[in-house]
Amino acid sequence: MSDSFFDPKTTPFHEGELTVQRRLGVLENVHSYAPKFVRNFLPDQHREFYSQLPQIVVGSLDEQGRPWASMVVGPAGFIRSPDRYSMVIDNAPLFGDPLRENLKTGNPLGFLGIEFHARRRNRLTGKVIGGTESGGFAIKVDQSFGNCPQFIQARTPSLKETRTSDVIERSVFRSGDLDTGSRAIISQADTFFIASAYFEDESDRRHGVDASHRGGKPGFLKVIDNKTLLFPDFPGNNHFNTIGNIELYPKVGILVPDFTSGDLLYITGTAEIIWDGPEVRAFTDAQRMVQVTIDEAVRVEKSLPMRWKFESYSSFLDLTGSWEDADEVLAITRDRDAWRRYVVAKIEKESETITSFYLVPEDKKALIDYEPGQHLPIKMIIPESDGSKREVRRTYTVSNAFNGRFYRLSIKREETGLVSKYFHDRIKPGDVVEAQAPRGDFHLDKDSNRPVVFLSGGVGVTPMIAMLESLLEEAKGKQSKREIHFIHGTRNGSEHAFEKYLNALGTWFDCLKEHNSYSLPQSGDILGRDFNRKGRIDLKLLQNLLSLDDYDFYLCGPSTFMSSLYEALVALGVRDDRIRYESFGPAMVLKSQVSEADFTASVSIRNLETVDSTELPNEPVVVRFAKSNLEAEWNSEKGSLLQLAEEVGLSPDFSCRSGNCGACTSKVKSGSVIYPRGHSVGLTDGEVLLCSAVPVKTDEQAELILDL
């Protein structure tokens, strides 16, 4: 992305903040307003705001360059602004506060004025220009700006003492780690303050210290051990002052107040940003995690000469998780291959052939996260005509972006499909379906900022819906959004799934361009109203719809649809690494020449039906199917064990035929197999994945015996 829309010399953000804004794709949006919003003076409204406060949070640096977060308190009016470029805090820091040693003239400070009961806050940075008779200090303003009210818990203050210049001694506990009292304060905290710094160039007006607020459900600041803290970073104003400072200078100070007892816990340490990982994905609404390794902790008992009456939690907390919920998700996620029971909560018809089934966990515990485009392995017990019951396994794409509430499976009724017919004919709300955790290699590349083209045919629309929802959720609130082309082909309006939903999304989001082609429109299908073009999606259509650009292409549909569109994209000069795909039907590999490394890295369909026979073992192997009393000789032209079983008349369960779902898992009674193209299913000893395995002779075993 070009940075031509802002001047690096006049932007209020330093390189650390800009780096994070670029990384997260908000740079242009932030610069559409922030340069006017961040001022080098105090507006009159802010001057009045600070004068009403009974406390102010201050970030400072000690002689070792370590940040500390502090709180100075006093009666309303102890903070005053003689003019727009200066501010006076006319009271001394509290007893035991590290700030008392950090107020030398010229030292940088960061300030957060926060009015808890009104959920208002403003921030500024400045430098010390002198002291006051009361032990306070005056500063020159460098930057001033307002903040949103998110995550502030409402509290009403009452001041017990008015002056702190005549310091009352308190019990102070200093340590290199957390003692029992400190851990107790952290465990119930719903609010803390964090100081960070950037001081690479003192002549730069962006040089200085920042003080910021963090709020969450009680205990959201988690004690990992006596030296380590971890907390989620929720969505904010996209300035990334704290995160940007850490990017350049990974030191922070944390102040955790106990609003009931008046105890204050000061911490300074080293911070690390965790951009992704299990904890980030498990903690609802967390954008990243920040881990702090403690250098020093100072706990001062009954330090605050004021108390706060709790009023209410911020409504924004309704959107966030808790460590209890996250730990539950992590525990469930660790055993991704375990079968879990889901209740069918709702059934919704999407077209004449496709119906959506909404699944919620029967145990009411957390839902496991997934990447948009992945599929859900399911297990069903289906009655046979003779009264017996048969266990079958299939995989179906999850057709919604992750929302923490349900998985949606949008299943097409296939007359020859045992499980799809059972879903359409027999499943009703309240029924139970067993499933493993979602999985699969076909999913949205979230690290890319390129424009996206979704190409789907028939029921191949389902992973595209999940990916589209994820992209549009990401686009909310951003001025600069990724261009999205949603190009779908189906036979006619009766088979057009999600038509009204997609039309509504196209109306709500300017970044979404939708096109529908009907190959066999019915008399009631109106061109220009219900669909855009008669015929199939082809090279000519892509040339007409797409400008010359570097797109990410996602393909999903029947094999003929996939082959023709891959050829069309190649004809347009699209690189292989810009094309991701998954076929519904026989698995296929579209790339004609590709290295082993590229093959496994870029293609989600890895099936032996299309592997060159020269890559397989050369020596024939006898395969016996024990239960069926059948045997056949396998050679390199036979393909996978699944193909061999079907050749002799057996019908093992299967679904993806690509080594991703586990539906074709069987038992090996004796013998050995290999997986030339690998697989993504967790197998136990004695299990074989038929769609991906081939037999091999060993010195000990000349044949393979399967429990089929």
- pLDDT bin (cut points 50, 70, 90) of residue 683 is confident
pLDDT over 60 at 406, yes or no: yes
pLDDT over 90 at 487, yes or no: yes
Copy the structure tokens of residue 174.
């200093």
pLDDT over 50 at 611, yes or no: no
> Distance (Å, rounded) from C-alpha 137 to C-alpha 630?
91
Give CA angle at 297 (295, 300), nearest 5°. 165
Query: According to the model, what pLDDT value does residue 34 have?
Result: 73
Topology of the domain comprising 452-605? Rossmann fold (3.40.50)
What amino acid occupies position 350?
A: E
Phi (first) and psi of residue 115, to 5 degrees: -110, 95
Q: Which helix (H) or strand (E) holds 407?
A: strand 407-412
Helices (H), 485-558: 499-508, 539-545
* Stretch(es) of the chain classified as CATH 2.30.110.10: 15-324
Query: According to the model, what pLDDT value does residue 479 have?
Result: 53
Query: According to the model, what pLDDT value does residue 598 have?
Result: 33
- pLDDT bin (cut points 50, 70, 90) of residue 212 is very high
- pLDDT bin (cut points 50, 70, 90) of residue 333 is confident
Compute the average pLDDT of residues 10-36: 84
**Residue 277 backbone class (left: φ over 0; alpha: ψ -120 to 50; beta: rest):** left
Q: Which residues pair with 195 in a beta bridge?
A: 211, 253
User: What digits encode the pLDDT tens for the residues 151-206?
Assistant: 999 999 876 654 454 467 889 999 999 999 999 999 999 999 999 998 766 666 66
Tell me which architecture the domain covering 339-435 has in CATH. Beta Barrel (2.40)
- pLDDT bin (cut points 50, 70, 90) of residue 237 is confident
pTM of the model: 0.73
- pLDDT bin (cut points 50, 70, 90) of residue 636 is confident
> Distance (Å, rounded) from C-alpha 496 to C-alpha 519?
11
User: What digits encode the pLDDT tens for the residues 527-579?
Assistant: 999 999 999 999 999 999 998 778 999 999 988 898 899 999 998 889 888 99
Are the beta carbons of 61 and 72 closer than 8 angstroms? no
Query: According to the model, what pLDDT value does residue 275 have?
Result: 95
- pLDDT bin (cut points 50, 70, 90) of residue 338 is confident
SS3 state of residue 221: coil
Taking all residues of the chain, what is their mean pLDDT, rounded to a whole number?
A: 88
Are the beta carbons of 66 and 293 closer than 8 angstroms? no
pLDDT over 80 at 614, yes or no: no
> Distance (Å, rounded) from C-alpha 441 to C-alpha 282?
20
Query: According to the model, what pLDDT value does residue 584 have?
Result: 56
pLDDT over 60 at 610, yes or no: no
Query: According to the model, what pLDDT value does residue 195 have?
Result: 98
**Cβ-based neighbour number of residue 201 at 10 Å:** 10
Query: According to the model, what pLDDT value does residue 587 have?
Result: 43
pLDDT over 70 at 269, yes or no: yes
* Alpha carbon of residue 106 to chain centroid: 42
- pLDDT bin (cut points 50, 70, 90) of residue 500 is very high
CATH 3.10.20.30 at 613-706, yes or no: yes
pLDDT over 70 at 515, yes or no: yes
Query: According to the model, what pLDDT value does residue 148 have?
Result: 81
> Distance (Å, rounded) from C-alpha 625 to C-alpha 612?
26
Copy the structure tokens of residue 651.
């019908």
For residues 583 and 457, the model is more confident at 457
User: What digits encode the pLDDT tens for the residues 93-133?
Assistant: 999 999 999 999 999 999 999 999 999 999 999 999 999 98
Q: Superfamily assignment of 15-324 in CATH?
A: Electron Transport, Fmn-binding Protein; Chain A (2.30.110.10)
Query: According to the model, what pLDDT value does residue 589 have?
Result: 53
Are the beta carbons of 533 and 541 closer than 8 angstroms? yes
Query: According to the model, what pLDDT value does residue 608 have?
Result: 42
* Stretch(es) of the chain classified as CATH 3.40.50.80: 452-605
Question: DSSP assignment, residue 338?
Answer: S
Residue with tokens 């400045």: 126
List the strands of the sheet with 452-457, edge to edge: 533-534, 512-518, 484-490, 452-457, 552-557, 579-583
Are the beta carbons of 444 and 373 closer than 8 angstroms? yes
SS3 state of residue 28: helix
Choose from 406-410, 506-510, 558-562, 597-601 the range with maximum mean pLDDT.
406-410
Q: Which residues pair with 582 in a beta bridge?
A: 556
Query: According to the model, what pLDDT value does residue 68 have?
Result: 98
Compute the average pLDDT of residues 614-635: 84
* Stretch(es) of the chain classified as CATH 3.10.20.30: 613-706
